[in-house]
Amino acid sequence: MYQIPSQPEFWDSASVITKDPTPIIEGQSEKFNRVKSVLEPFNISLEMMKDIGDRLTAEMVKGLDKATHAEAKVKMFPTYVQSLPDGTERGDFFALDLGGSNFRVLLVQLLEGEVKMESKTYAIAKEIMVGTGDQLFDYIADCLNEFKTEQGLGNKSLPLGFTFSFPCKQLSLKSGILVTWTKGFTAAGVEGKNVVDLLMEACKRRGVDIDVIALVNDTTGTLMSCAYTDHNAYVGLILGTGTNACYMEDVNKVGTWEGDGNARQTIVNMEWGAFGDDGVLDDIRTEYDRNVDETSLNRGKQQYEKMISGMYLGEISRQVMVKLVQSKLLFNGVSSKELDTPGKFETRFTTDIENDKSNNGTDVAKILTDLNLKPSLEDIELVRVICHSVAKRAARLAVAGLAAVTKRVQRDDRPEVTIGIDGTLYKKHPLFKQEMEEMMKLLVPGVKVNFMLSEDGSGKGAALIAAVACRLHNNKVQ
């Protein structure tokens, strides 16, 4: 008799949350033992998480040290953001947000006790993403010009925060060099260039008047937007299409600092997606991770990100399914053109599958039939287990790194640490929040850690960074 279990975590090796190991299909234990062996590499135990955190800590030190920075994969770039919001920031600001296939322009008004925002989203065509840098930045300038006109601010130049969510080495608060494209972008002539200069040149070509105050990473913006209301916020995290983290660090621990000699602290943009690019995570990576990397646009790069972020989880799950079909453990060994096509099983499907609590797996069945598959109830449950295993590994890998960062910022006068988080994966996938909160308690005992959803870090946060920069500048001239 077939029974769908309430929780499919029947082979979790972390003893604190091990569920009943009884096979979920009576009389089919041999089959599920075979599936278990295929999924075993996705099982990340508590001890493994601690070890991964230790590895990341070593990489963080390497990135911060001037002598080893050049060879470090986790770059630990100082952002030159030296202060968190204190709540006195006021004024009108523009923000640009480029971090994926959609681009936003915003007008942010910081009022006493209130933040007002107007925004417009523009799609970026694939041919622009993979075209030239001039095409990309001309398009951004055109979008900004259109938005300014619609807001009745066509001739007005407000302070602007530019959120550019790709690995950059910042030279100052308002200048930075693109290290490498990620997330499907390959626009020529941008890597190795100052992206603010490219934006300014495009705006000049298009006759758009702008005043760029700050170049912002979305992770930094996430931290700033949370710190505006929670003064215990010292860490920012993105869990969406990509993943990254930042935190507030003492300047005397940042060997690559080239800014104000009197500065005491700066937000460090970790660019932790590249953790593992030098092989330190090879024992964690699976054959599916290697396949995803081999077929990616940025082969050999962003290995940590490729095991965690929304751009890849659906594809990893698909590849596991294909392997089980080939082993005749799924769909009676019969695949479909859609399942065999890379990218067809989207990460949003894994979220929908995790959210489907019905006994007969109605939503799961629809996703699979839309892929021209003919799932049995047994297949539906197996797909649930596959997606759950892949997502749980992602959550545990993310929290392993996050615990290492939390230990870095925690000190006696900070018994409480708030982590600002943004990204659709964390917001929409039901497993991440619960798993990360549970594991953080075990990885960083004795510290009260709060997870706080960011309110538009890439928009509001960018404006806040520009506002803080204006406040600090005004304080100096007074």
What is the set of active-site residues?
A: 104, 165, 218
Residue 76 has phi, psi (to 5 degrees) of 55, 50
Please report the DSSP string for 389-442 in residue order: HHHHHHHHHHHHHHHHHHHHH--TT-SEEEEEEE-HHHHH-HHHHHHHHHHHHH
Q: Give the tokens for residue 374.
A: 């003919």
C-alpha dist (Å) from residue 366 to 312, 314, 360, 377: 22, 16, 11, 12
Q: Report how many helices (DSSP H) and strands (DSSP E) the chain contains, helices first.
A: 15, 13
What is the dihedral sign for C-alpha 313, 317, 322, 323? positive
Task: Identify whether the C-beta of residue 275 lies closer than 8 Å to the C-beta of residue 74.
Answer: yes
Other CB atoms within a 10 A radius of the CB of residue 328 amount to: 12
Q: Give the tokens for residue 163.
A: 């959120």
Contacts of residue 423, defined as CB under 8 A and 6 or more positions apart, other chains included, come to 237, 238, 239, 240, 241, 243, 310
Contacts of residue 177, defined as CB under 8 A and 6 or more positions apart, other chains included, come to 168, 169, 170, 171, 192, 193, 194, 195
Q: Give the tokens for residue 110.
A: 């910081």
CA 333/CA 61 separation, integer angstroms = 48
CA 463/CA 95 separation, integer angstroms = 6
Task: Identify whether the C-beta of residue 55 lies closer than 8 Å to the C-beta of residue 431.
Answer: no
Q: Which of 221, 219, 247 is nearest to 305 (CA)?
A: 219
